[in-house]
Amino acid sequence: MNWKKIILHIDMNAFFASIEQRDDHALQGKPVAVTNGQHGSCIITCSYEARAFGVKTGMRFSDAKLLCPKIIRKSSNPKKYAETSTRIMRILQNISPDIEIFSVDEAFVDLTNCKKIYSSPLNVACFIKDRIYSDVCLPCSIGISENKSMAKFAAKLKKPDGITVLNAQQAKQVLQKYLVTELCGVSKGIQKFLNAHNVYKCGDMRKIPISILGNRYGNVGRRIWLMAQGLDYDSLKQENKPPKSFGHGKVTMPGLKDVHLIKKIFRHMCEKVAKRMRINNYESNKYIIGFKTRNGWCIKNFQLAYYTNNGSTIYKLAENIICEINYNIGINQVQVTASNPKLLDLQYDLFGNTLNSKEQKIDNALDVIHQKFANVKIGSARLLGEINSPDVISPSWRPDGWKRSV
């Protein structure tokens, strides 16, 4: 094989839903939607049987029920998903050390440096599928190509349970008829921009110069221009870069107006952000806090004179935006993000602007208890009661590093 690079993209099929079907025979062959908790309103993922009815990730369960009345709601089990993901990634790490964990259920494997060990990439792909199936009993799709974006595109072509090999020439040919939105990284905004330049399908991209995208979106734009033509010079990202932010959000019931509950949700998100920073030894002085209504987002940026990773301090900032909620229309979503976090230097602030040590001690003690006894519910009394927010696993979850949080 005379490819410059050999990249495999491994994508688990309907990952969370497949795990639920695997563990409960009654769900096999049935339309299943996974939501956060027994009453979660938003679908995190759904089985292929549900997809056949037009049910999609991100859809409200009530809307899915209209499309597919027999759909079964299954509450998510993040710890099980994290454990399964870890096992899958360990299998891939044994195939080649050059691996990029792209999301909780997707990874790139670069075989370029180990092509002498293996007879062919197709054989490796078959081997990976067998190993994953025998270990965790789940199906996956694998795309094999000369670069990352084409491997990812190839993996999408045969779902579920397929293997697709595309060389650069074939990739360019096949891509022509696909919409630009099929490419990884083309957001709604970029799609709009491209459509305004008469670019709808990947084949149309040749009609505009690369500079149009480059001037508007920089390197991201230039990469998309190349991707549409089967090219991609991006290499695998293996190192765990320092975090740019720590964020937690929650989709509420539409038009939530209960002041008490809204405050509790905000407090909960603040605590989650704070806790994740503490576990990873980070703190921040910049916070972006907001809520979404049917009319869109209302977001505020806050900057403190000192760094913190204490939930109550962050919540005090949140109060400045909670007071702006219009309770006639209510809210649909809440988001709390710490931006630009920095590693704790563990030095005392001479001017006394940091938290008092009592609060810090309480936080640390609670973190130790939670880490040791996962099922113990202990915390601020203000958080007890109605809001029993289930654990959530983010798509960016990783088996190692600071993204490792359920």
Enumerate the active-site residues.
Answer: 106
The distance of closest approach from Cβ of residue 392 to Mg ion in the complex, given in angstroms and rounded to an integer, is: 17
Query: How do 32-35 and 72-75 pair as beta strands?
Result: parallel
* Size of site (CB under 5 A) for Mg ion: 3
Between 12 and 392, name the residue whose CB sits nearer to Mg ion.
Answer: 12
User: Which region among 100-108, 276-284, 287-295, 376-384 touches Mg ion (by CB under 5 A)?
Assistant: 100-108
Between 159 and 201, name the residue whose CB sits nearer to Mg ion.
Answer: 159
Between 105 and 146, name the residue whose CB sits nearer to Mg ion.
Answer: 105
The distance of closest approach from Cβ of residue 251 to Mg ion in the complex, given in angstroms and rounded to an integer, is: 21
- The footprint of Mg ion on residues 41-60 (CB under 5 A) is none
Per-residue interface string for the shown chain with Mg ion, residues 347-386, x marking contact by CB under 5 A = ----------------------------------------
- C-alpha to C-alpha distance for 248 and 405, rounded to whole angstroms: 11
Is the Cα dihedral 128, 130, 136, 142 positive or negative?
positive
CB 143 within 8 A of CB 166: yes
Between 105 and 110, name the residue whose CB sits nearer to Mg ion.
Answer: 105
Distances (CA, A) of 155 to 108, 117, 207, 216, 280: 11, 23, 27, 29, 34
The distance of closest approach from Cβ of residue 158 to Mg ion in the complex, given in angstroms and rounded to an integer, is: 13
By residue count, the chain amounts to 406
Judged by CB under 5 A, the residue of 20, 105, 146, 363 near Mg ion is 105
The distance of closest approach from Cβ of residue 45 to Mg ion in the complex, given in angstroms and rounded to an integer, is: 8
Residue with tokens 């929650």: 250
Query: Cis omega before residue 160 (within 30°)?
Result: yes
User: Which region among 38-46, 93-101, 105-113, 199-207 touches Mg ion (by CB under 5 A)?
Assistant: 105-113
DSSP code of 399? S
Judged by CB under 5 A, the residue of 7, 10, 11, 19 near Mg ion is 11
Among residues 184, 182, 187, 153, which one has the least CA distance to residue 167? 153
Between 16 and 402, name the residue whose CB sits nearer to Mg ion.
Answer: 16
Among residues 333, 283, 317, 310, which one has the least CA distance to residue 379? 310
Query: Across the strands, what pairs with 9?
Result: 108, 143
The distance of closest approach from Cβ of residue 114 to Mg ion in the complex, given in angstroms and rounded to an integer, is: 25
- Spell out the residues 6+ positions from residue 162 whose beta carbon is closer than 8 angstroms to its own: 141, 142
Among residues 381, 364, 268, which one has the least CA distance to residue 315? 268
Query: How do 106-110 and 7-12 pair as beta strands?
Result: antiparallel
The distance of closest approach from Cβ of residue 115 to Mg ion in the complex, given in angstroms and rounded to an integer, is: 26
- The footprint of Mg ion on residues 210-229 (CB under 5 A) is none
- C-alpha to C-alpha distance for 335 and 265, rounded to whole angstroms: 10
Between 7 and 142, name the residue whose CB sits nearer to Mg ion.
Answer: 142
CB 293 within 8 A of CB 329: yes
| Residue 85 engages Mg ion in binding (rule: CB under 5 A) | no
Binding residues for Mg ion (CB under 5 A): 11-12, 105
